């Protein structure tokens, strides 16, 4: 645009000596047309620029909101109680069968984040209200005996597992449950009368649990 105006002006300048007035008028008209076009374009560009700037400030607003949300999520995540444990029974050989049910103290702790599992007593105590997952694997090798164990919540049997051993090879039984717990609820594993459990340095009989999410 600038170039064409410059060219037109040059043309008009060169016309001044010895050209007719009509030609001069035509040339001026062309310049004005060009100037008007330039003005229109400037107006159009200004409108577009306004739009772009509006969009930009809206995006900035949204980015600020997202950043705030991200910070909140980070803080929530950092504040959230972390709960996870895994423990192996820690004995070398058999336990049971006995005449009374006993709470199994899995004392070879592999992980105990939050220290909510007590390896001395075998009791897990929920630190927050939430949804938790527990699972266990029980090994047995005593011939003509039952192996198995039961998961208890506040003294109430929740899930069980057991099998009869026809021969003296390692046999495994496992079960698990998602439980909704209140603060202070107690979860543990029990060996019922008549059942046996076996463990070795290979950590064959284990009990694990973790908080899926607090509620
Ligand atoms: C296991 O039980 C079977 C069948 O009752 C019997 O024949 C076998 O002798 C028993 N084995 C042992 C080691 O007690
Ligand atoms: C059993 O658990 C202990 C941790 O107490 C670990 O050091 C060891 O390597 C484990 N044994 C096997 C066979 O995984």
Decide whether any atom of ligand 2 lies within 6 Å of the 203 Cβ: yes
Instruction: Please report the pLDDT score of residue 5 as a whole number.
Output: 54
Q: Are residues 61 and 158 in the same domain?
A: no
Cβ distance 191 to 158 under 8 Å?
Answer: no
**Ligand in closest contact with the CA of 110:** 2
In the chain, what are the helix, strand and coil shares in percent, each to the nearest 5? Answer: 35, 35, 30
Q: List pLDDT tens digits, range 4-58.
A: 555 555 555 555 555 678 888 888 888 899 999 999 999 999 999 999 999 999 9
With H, G, I as helix, E, B as strand and everything else as coil, classify residue 192: coil
The residues lining ligand 1, judged by C-beta closer than 6 Å to any ligand atom, are: 143-144
Residues 149 and 169 placed together within one structural domain of the fold: yes
Domain boundary among 53, 79, 105: 79
Residue 112 in contact with ligand 2 by CB distance below 6 A:
no
Q: Report the C-alpha gap between 123 and 115 in whole angstroms.
A: 11
The predicted-structure confidence for 150-196, as pLDDT tens digits, reads as follows 999 999 999 989 988 887 788 899 999 999 999 999 999 999 999 99
Atom of ligand 1 nearest to the CA of 144: 1
Domain identity same for 92 and 116: yes
Indicate the top mutation candidate among 137, 199, 201 to test ligand 2's pocket, ranked by most ligand atoms within 8 A of CB. 201
Specify whether 54 is located in the same domain as 132.
Answer: no
Query: Is there a single domain that holds both residue 53 and residue 119?
Result: no
Cis? peptide before 74, omega within 30° of 0: no
> Residue 152: which domain range?
84-214
Lookup result for tokens 């039984």: 173
Measured in Å, residue 108 CA sits from the centre of ligand 2 at 8
Name the residue at shortest CA distance from atom 4 of ligand 1: 144
**CA distances in angstroms from 102 to 90, 113, 127, 149, 177, listed in the order given:** 16, 25, 24, 10, 20
Phi/psi at 179 (5° precision) = -125, 140
**Global model pTM greater than 0.95:** no
Overall number of domains in the chain: 2
**CB-ligand 2 contact for 88 (6 Å cutoff):** yes
């Amino acid at each position: 645009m600038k170039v064409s105006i410059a060219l037109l002006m040059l043309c008009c300048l060169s016309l001044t000596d010895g050209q007719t007035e009509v030609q001069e008028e035509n040339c001026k008209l062309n310049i004005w047309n060009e100037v008007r076009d330039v003005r229109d374009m400037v107006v159009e560009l200004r409108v577009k620029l306004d739009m772009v700037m509006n969009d930009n400030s809206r995006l900035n607003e949204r980015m600020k909101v997202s950043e705030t949300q991200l910070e909140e999520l980070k803080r929530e995540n950092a504040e959230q109680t972390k709960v996870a444990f895994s423990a192996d029974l820690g004995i070398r050989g058999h336990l049971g069968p006995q005449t009374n049910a006993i709470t199994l103290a899995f004392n070879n702790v592999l992980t105990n984040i939050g220290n909510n599992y007590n390896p001395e007593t075998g009791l897990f105590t929920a630190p927050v209200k939430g949804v938790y997952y527990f699972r266990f694997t029980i090994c047995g090798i005593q011939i003509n005996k039952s192996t198995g164990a039961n998961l208890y919540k506040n003294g109430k049997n929740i899930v069980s597992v057991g099998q009869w051993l026809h021969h003296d090879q390692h046999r495994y039984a496992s079960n698990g449950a998602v439980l909704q717990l209140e603060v202070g609820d107690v979860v543990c594993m029990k060996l019922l009368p008549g059942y046996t459990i076996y463990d070795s340095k290979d950590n064959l009989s284990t009990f694990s649990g973790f908080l899926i999410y607090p509620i």
